[in-house]
Amino acid sequence: EDKVVQSPLSLVVHEGDTVTLNCSYEVTNFRSLLWYKQEKKAPTFLFMLTSSGIEKKSGRLSSILDKKELFSILNITATQTGDSAIYLCAVEQNTGNQFYFGTGTSLTVIP
Amino acid sequence: DAGITQSPRHKVTETGTPVTLRCHQTENHRYMYWYRQDPGHGLRLIHYSYGVKDTDKGEVSDGYSVSRSKTEDFLLTLESATSSQTSVYFCAISERLYEQYFGPGTRLTVT
């Protein structure tokens, strides 16, 4: 059964901390892994990863994929209260263009 | 923002009544998806479409049907709504090899 597992389920940190969010997957016919940020509305796209070992970076956020060990991490440095959200990981299949989502990590950044 | 709208945005209905949710896109993307999002389950795929009149089931398709008669519209129908279908419904679109973009969501309450 195809599945995506995220950890931790929730996390509370102080502003300025660095956090690492994890996503592991067991999905047949893997094409890509995606990270989304969801506040009180629709998920918004952060990164798409298709190749192992190549870091994607956007400001204080970065992500990397390990296709051998079947996982990805999302790092957020110098966290701010605006980073508080649910972070979703999704894996796209090569066949049928389906996406499988994890249950998300709820991040709360307190001042 | 990608041109995706959903209607209605909020709906309250009674058990046993039919309900249709509409997703409309202006991006001419080939793939369209319906998800439901519930606490503890993340986003789960209901149905998706890979072209006009081409649809397939996702992991939680029971009790739902879809139709896509035009590229821009993807309808989700609950033939006879049940309380277990109370949820937030998201539509998403994508093109092959690109990320998904999500609509604003529809909050459906079945009483």
pLDDT, tens only, B61-81: 999 999 999 999 999 999 999
For chain A, what is the domain count?
1
Find the CB nearest B104 among A42, A88, A103. Answer: A42
The CATH number of the domain holding residue A96 is: 2.60.40.10
pLDDT at B98 over 80: no
- Percent of chain B past pLDDT 70, that is, above it, reads 96
Instruction: Return the pLDDT at B1.
Output: 54
Yes or no, beta carbons of A42 and B40 under 8 Å apart: no
Distance CA A90, CA A65 (A): 12
Count of all residues that appear for chain B in the document = 111
- Span of A73-87, B7-21, B50-64, B91-105 with lowest mean pLDDT: B91-105
pLDDT at B96 over 80: no
Find the CB nearest A88 among B43, B96, B97. Answer: B43
| Average of per-residue pLDDT values in chain B | 93
Yes or no, beta carbons of A103 and B100 under 8 Å apart: no
Instruction: Return the pLDDT at B23.
Output: 98
Residue A93 contacts B, CB cutoff 8 Å: no
Instruction: Return the pLDDT at A2.
Output: 78
Yes or no, beta carbons of A43 and B58 under 8 Å apart: no
At the top level of CATH, the class of B4-110 is: mainly beta
Taking chain A (111 residues) in runs of 10, the rounded mean pLDDT of each run is 91 97 93 92 91 90 94 97 96 81 95 94
A101 in a structural domain: yes
Instruction: Return the pLDDT at A51.
Output: 83
Q: State the smallest CA–CA distance between residue A29 and chain B in angstroms.
A: 14
What is the bridge-based pairing of β-strands A85-93 and A105-110?
A: antiparallel
A93 in a structural domain: yes
Which burial class, exposed, middle or buried, applies to A6 when counting CB atoms under 10 A from its CB (0-12, 13-18, 19+)? buried
Q: Which domain holds residue A91?
A: 3-106
A111 in a structural domain: no
Q: State the smallest CA–CA distance between residue B101 and chain A in angstroms.
A: 7
Residue A97 with chain B: CB contacts under 8 Å? 31, 48, 50, 94, 96
